[in-house]
């Protein structure tokens, strides 16, 4: 499975089971342990921007 396939699989589980990313990853680890192709990403809850605002 390619990393993009892993991301799509996570998104599918999150959408159809109404789960957060960590919940979906835990569910996949339990029921389909071979889904991981690389180390898990850390969920991002806040995105910070530095520099000037791009509002015009």
Domain that holds residue 9: 3-35
The answer to whether residue 45 sits within a structural domain is no
Question: How many other β-carbons are positioned within 10 Å of the β-carbon of residue 36?
Answer: 15
Q: Is residue 11 part of a domain?
A: yes
In a domain, 15, yes or no: yes
Q: Is residue 13 part of a domain?
A: yes
The contacts of residue 20 (CB under 8 Å, 6+ apart) are 14, 43
Token match 């071979």: residue? 34
Asked, for residue 41, whether it belongs to a domain, the answer is no
Is residue 51 in a domain? no
Residue 10: its pLDDT value, please?
85
The predicted structure's pLDDT at residue 38: 64
Which SS3 state, helix, strand or coil, does residue 47 take?
coil
Does 26 map to a domain? yes
Q: What is the pLDDT of residue 34?
A: 79
Chunked into runs of 10 residues, the chain (56 residues) has average pLDDT values of 68 90 90 74 66 60
Q: What is the pLDDT of residue 18?
A: 92
Of 27, 20, 19, nearest to 43 by C-alpha is 20
pLDDT at 23: 92
Please give the tally of structural domains in the chain.
Answer: 1
pLDDT of residue 2: 44
The answer to the question of residue 56 being in a domain is: no
């Amino acid at each position: 499975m390619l990393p993009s396939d892993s991301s799509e699989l996570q998104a599918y589980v999150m959408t159809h089971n109404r789960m957060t990313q960590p919940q979906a990853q835990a569910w996949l680890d339990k029921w389909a342990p071979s889904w991981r192709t690389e180390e898990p990403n850390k969920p991002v809850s806040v995105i910070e921007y530095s520099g000037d605002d791009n509002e015009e």
